[in-house]
Structure 1
Amino acid sequence: MVRAQEGPRARYREQTRAEIKDTALRQLAESGVGALALTRIAKEMGLSGPALYRYFASRDDLLSALIRDAYDDAASAVARAAAQAQALSPRARLHALAGAYRAWAVAEPHRYLLIQGAPVPGYIAPDDTRDRARAVLGPFLPLFADGSPGTSHSALVAEMTAWLAADAAGVTSWVAEYAPDTAADQRRAAYGLAGAVLVWAQLHGSVGLEAAGQFAGMGHRGDTLLTTQLDQLADAFALD
């Protein structure tokens, strides 16, 4: 009898948690992360403060859930693009993956800025967000592993090689998950990491400015700028 009752209770709990997160996301979109407050969410939902704390122990607990969801959705968008672009050239795949990331970010800028914007004062993200962030970049690794960066990138490649040798926080397993054929080739693995770090920086710069509305009143489109930057990066790694 108890087991039969656990199912509906668990479903109700998850439905309520989802409603709380949806309400929090609306607040983020309207007023930014600084305005996020459990008491305000409870009032909007018609719940008491203590009732809300049964679902999220604190504002930071709720923030962590929203951040995990945002990373997971961004990673899913990039993974879908990678699956659809398998038959394309490396350069075209690079554009497809980056384009999927940009499309997700500009469609939901409040979620993008939650994970890539200014840090929330006093908030410390849980360790598992690192792996979620790596899942976003993972599909880029095999693209650059097969590239050939020029000498201007030698310092970065050397640092990535050292990172692999130290295996800081399992970087080798991360590369092996997304570019398994590089497991026995440290040089290619380092190329993959160097390219992924560079594309991350370019995505954050271009997409971050666009998501924050910084391109308003300027004479270019966000996709045009990103396309130009990606072609420069593809040239630097000799991607065809």
Structure 2
Amino acid sequence: MTPTEGGLRARYREQTRAEIKEIALRQLAEGGLAAIALTRIAKELGLSGPALYRYFAGRDDLADALIRDAYDDLAAAVGRAAEGAAGLTPRERLRAMGVAYRAWALSQPQRYLLLFGSPLPGYTAPPDTLLRARAALGPFLSVFEGGRPRPAVAPVVQQMEAWERRDPRVAGWVAEYAAGGDGCAVAGAVMAWTRMHGVISLEVEGQFTGMGHDPRALLDAEVDTLAETFGLG
């Protein structure tokens, strides 16, 4: 095989994998992860069933790829917001990243629910998705670095500090974005995630319909309350 032939074959393979994932995302939007059917994908692409398995070993392998892509896209969206808010106060940076997080979820709810919705029975996400999830949450660490948490969250801060000391991988993750060491950055980032997830998941699933409020205002209130709790300026 010549270098040119090898390059063309590699590009064709990546193009076909991208087309498979695009169809799978449409199926995901129709009925969740359980709706992804490799036989239907193969038929739409004009491939035989066995031919499709040259690109993905099975449905779980395809789901793994979709989850990796989704986490990477979410991390990129949060990262762009963090860069755009550089120089602002910690509270303003927190709000900007929360807005970006919500915007990403609303623009592609099926991918958001793939990451944070009900898990498919029998499916276990690959270990490397943890690193991608932490990349999406990482920019929030720097916001809470040097915070002055109220006594009410002291137990959470202490537990996160112990976790950071106990697990070198967590310590390395924190060091990538913040000085760390006192548990404040991790506690704030994790609590930001829980606050955002609570509001955004309910919105994505349509639970606020007919309630007469703007979910963005609710998210801003949650973020500002958290900023107050951690003494962010």
Question: What TM-score results when the alignment is normalised by the length of structure 1?
Answer: 0.95
Alignment of 1:112-151 (within 5 A): 112-151=112-151
Identity percentage of aligned residues: 59
Q: Partner letter of residue 224 of structure 2?
A: D
Q: Partner letter of residue 107 of structure 1?
A: S
Shift of 1:31: 2.2
Q: Secondary structure at the match of 2:30?
A: helix
Shift of 1:87: 1.5
Aligned to 2:75: 75
- 1:199 and 2:171 correspond: no
Aligned to 2:85: 85
Shift of 1:59: 0.1
Aligned to 2:202: 209
Aligned to 1:109: 109
For structure 2, the 5+ residue unaligned runs are none
Alignment of 1:1-240 (within 5 A): 1-167=1-167, 170-179=169-178, 182=179, 186-187=181-182, 190-240=183-233
- Whole-angstrom CA distance in 2 between matches of 1:203 and 1:127: 24
For structure 1, the 5+ residue unaligned runs are none
> How large is the Cα RMSD of the aligned pairs?
1.0
- Whole-angstrom CA distance in 2 between matches of 1:109 and 1:91: 26
Q: Once the two structures are superposed, what CA deviation does each residue of 1:34-67 show, in whole Å capped at 9, x if it has no partner?
A: 2111111112222111111110000000000000
- Whole-angstrom CA distance in 1 between matches of 2:225 and 2:195: 11
Q: Secondary structure at the match of 1:157?
A: helix
Give the paired residue count: 233
Shift of 1:165: 1.4
Q: Once the two structures are superposed, what CA deviation does each residue of 1:188-237 show, in whole Å capped at 9, x if it has no partner?
A: xx100000110111111111111111111111122111001001000001
Runs of 4+ in 1 over 4 A off after TM superposition: none
Q: Secondary structure at the match of 1:213?
A: coil
Shift of 1:80: 0.3
- Whole-angstrom CA distance in 2 between matches of 1:32 and 1:126: 18
